[in-house]
Amino acid sequence: MLTPAEHHKLHNEARRKKATCQCHYCGKKFDVPYRLRNKKYCSKECLLKAQKMPRSREVKKCPICGKIFETCPSTKTQYCSKVCAGKARTNESLETRTCIVCGKIFQSLKSRKRVYCSRECVQKARSQNASETKICKFCGKKFISRKITNRKYCSKECAKKAYRERIKNNK
């Protein structure tokens, strides 16, 4: 165990410990307290000068409009503006498709899963394929249900009776 005097001495030594850094702007070496060992600039002047330095730029040509523009090398910018980027996206990814209802040929983006040429064809498909005839698993009666649902019973009453029967059989 350390005595209070030894403990105090240990902390004072740690506080006096220095680290040597090199300025990122002027290259001069300077000493700082150990806790500031990651300091990058020797003075406020060097920091301000470094902030005002022009960053490296890359000159590119827009593939859509041909305009010359500057960008940072770290960015993957290919186009001079959002407008040109949007044009590139729509031009590159258009695909010719055939409507599954009327057979008409239409254009759509590859990223979209469109199968109908218009809202009218969507409505026709929904009305044609909207319902089907099913048989109730409890009473055996025929009933009409929407295809997208997973109905097994013709009514809530049959569903409740079937549930009660399943509960009784499991006991």
**pLDDT range class, residue 14, cuts 50, 70, 90:** low
Beta-carbon count within 10 A of 65 CB: 13
Q: At residue 64, does pLDDT exceed 80?
A: yes
Are 74 and 57 spatial neighbours (Cβ–Cβ below 8 Å)?
Answer: no
Are 141 and 135 spatial neighbours (Cβ–Cβ below 8 Å)?
Answer: yes
Residues 79 and 47 in one domain: no
Find the distance separating the first CA and the last CA of the chain, reported in whole Å: 70
Beta-carbon count within 10 A of 95 CB: 12
Residues 63 and 42 in one domain: no
Tell me the residue range of the domain where 12 lies.
Answer: 4-52
Taking alpha carbons only, the member of 112, 106, 76, 79 closest to residue 93 is 112
Answer yes or no: is 124 within a domain.
no
Would you state the pLDDT for residue 78?
A: 86
Whole-model pTM: value is 0.31
Q: Can you tell me the distance from the alpha carbon of 168 to that of 158, in angstroms, rounded to the nearest whole number?
A: 15
User: Rounded mean pLDDT of 80-85?
Assistant: 88
Residues 36 and 74 in one domain: no
pLDDT digits (tens, 9 = 90+) for 83-100: 888 887 766 667 889 988
Are 59 and 77 spatial neighbours (Cβ–Cβ below 8 Å)?
Answer: no
Report the range of poorest mean pLDDT among 25-29, 69-73, 141-145.
69-73
Taking alpha carbons only, the member of 83, 84, 82 closest to residue 63 is 84
Residues 135 and 169 in one domain: yes
pLDDT digits (tens, 9 = 90+) for 127-162: 776 678 889 999 999 988 877 678 899 999 999 999
Answer yes or no: is 115 within a domain.
no
